[in-house]
Amino acid sequence: MKFLCVECDQQMAFGERQLPGDGTLAATFKCPQCGRVVAMLTNPMETQLVSSLGVEIGGRTVPAEPFEMVRSNIVTGGPAWSNDAQERLSRVPSFVRGMVKKIYADYAKERGIMEITPAIMDTARAELGLEGM
């Protein structure tokens, strides 16, 4: 991918890269002649595609670590579910159970909770407004 300043007919030079943390990417490019700066903004899906290539926009400053992509992109771990919590989850209708489980798991993960119990489910339900789940 390259950027051309049409007015100056000059190839723009890479400036900086930002990863705001929401899955998006911003990269700036500057025209060496007129100084105009443009930013390329990618959505999470586009950013993921670049990530899957194992390349760095702006260039690599250090060599890739072994299994860098696998280690940083595979979902592992996640909170454990107590027996009581599992039993309660099993009473959720099957067609929404996966979604409900993910909501509780995300809630726990964001708060560093290692085990989901009925009490945690009650707290999450109250905080997230999930009455009936």
Which residue, 126, 124, 131, is CA-closest to 106? Answer: 124
Question: Which range in 4-12, 85-93, 104-112, 125-133 contacts other proteins by CB under 8 A?
Answer: 4-12
Among 40, 57, 89, 105, binds other proteins (CB under 8 A): 57
> Does residue 35 touch other proteins according to CB under 8 A?
no
**Packed helices 94-110 and 118-128: angle between N→C axes, nearest 10 degrees:** 90
Which residue, 116, 122, 119, is CA-closest to 101? Answer: 116
Give the nearest distance from C-beta 41 to other proteins in angstroms.
15
Question: Which range in 61-69, 81-89, 92-100, 114-122 contacts other proteins by CB under 8 A?
Answer: 61-69
Please report, to the nearest 10 degrees, the dihedral formed by the alpha carbons of residues 47, 66, 64, 43 taken in order. 0
Cβ proximity to other proteins: between 60 and 91 the closer is 60
Give the SS3 label for residue 38: strand
Contact residues: other proteins, CB under 8 A: 1-2, 4, 6, 9, 11, 13-14, 23, 43-45, 48-49, 51-60, 64, 66-78
